Structure 1
Amino acid sequence: MVKLNEEMKEAFSKVRVFPVATASKDGVPNVVPIGFCMLVDDETIWIADNFMKKTLANVKENPKLSLYLWGPEVKGCFQIKGDVKVVSEGEEFQKMREIVLAKMAKAPAKNLLVVKVTEVFSCTPGPEAGEKLL
């Protein structure tokens, strides 16, 4: 797996809403804003499924996703791609539920998407846009 560097981790910490893109097994795209997206370590991201429909269906069919890090306080722009595992029980799932419910008591916190980072690309406009960084 790929490990995010310090600049990417700092960018991650400044983003409040994460655009998350998935595709069905037939390639039909879907992108949604995700509020609960947590960097667990240099190569693992947790995403809470509170209200997912198409996103959850897509990652069950095609366990890959992409998200990007960008915002007014973020230096640069990074596109992160990863492999997804849907978790609905166990220690990681319970820890995610506790974190989500502490922030939003009525959240359903139905599933945990565990994303292992596989690639990172630049999405900053200019000649390096689209270049693979990791």
Structure 2
Amino acid sequence: MVRLTDEMKAAFAAVRTFPVATASKEGEPNVVPIGFCMLMDDETIWIADNFMKKTLANLKENPRVGIYIWGPETKGCYQIKGDVVIVNEGEDFQKMREIVLSKMSKAPAKNLIVVTITEAYSCTPGPGAGDRIPLLGQ
């Protein structure tokens, strides 16, 4: 079990749109802006699939994701990586739909992308750029 640090959680809370990267099984990259990206606990992120095409196809072939966390209001810059499970039924899926529809009533909320955080890296310019950040529990 790995968990984000308090600094990473604060940065995550400050960001409104997250660049989310996936790759096909052949390694073809895809990056999209995601507005519904919620930190559910210290080790789990929920992403709502409203309009995914290439991203969803990539996740079905290669269930890994990279999420970039930065904004003018953050104190650091982070890249979070994780393993993905695609959920389209059950209690968590219904909870995600309720949250999404309360903010955007016409959103399709087709799938819940559950990300289990596996690692994190610094993107902050300087000598530590690209270094792996030890997560709590690692």
TM range (shorter): over 0.9
The answer for the alignment partner of 1:34 in structure 2 is 34
Q: 1: distance between equivalents of 2:44 and 2:73?
A: 23
The answer for the alignment partner of 1:75 in structure 2 is 75
SS at 2:124 equivalent: coil
Aligned positions, number: 134
The two structures, once aligned, show a CA RMSD in angstroms of 0.5
Q: 2: distance between equivalents of 1:89 and 1:104?
A: 20
SS at 1:56 equivalent: helix
Shift of 1:2: 1.8
Q: Deviations over 1:30-61 (max 9, x none)?
A: 00000000000000000000000000000000
The answer for the alignment partner of 1:124 in structure 2 is 124
Structure 2: gaps (5+ residues): none
Q: 2: distance between equivalents of 1:113 and 1:76?
A: 25
Shift of 1:76: 1.0
Shift of 1:68: 1.1
The answer for the alignment partner of 2:60 in structure 1 is 60
Matched, 1:45 2:45: yes
SS at 1:58 equivalent: helix
Q: TM-score, normalized by length of structure 1?
A: 0.99
Q: TM-score, normalized by length of structure 2?
A: 0.96
The answer for the alignment partner of 2:107 in structure 1 is 107
SS at 2:113 equivalent: strand
Q: 1: distance between equivalents of 2:104 and 2:129?
A: 37
Identity between Structure 1 and Structure 2 (%): 75
Q: 2: distance between equivalents of 1:8 and 1:106?
A: 32
Structure 1: gaps (5+ residues): none
Q: 2: distance between equivalents of 1:125 and 1:27?
A: 26
Q: Deviations over 1:78-118 (max 9, x none)?
A: 10000000000000000000000000000000000000000
Letter in 2 for 1:40: M
Q: 1: distance between equivalents of 2:89 and 2:69?
A: 28
SS at 2:48 equivalent: strand
Q: Which aligned pairs between 1:78-89 and structure 2 lie closer than 5 A?
A: 78-89=78-89
SS at 1:105 equivalent: coil
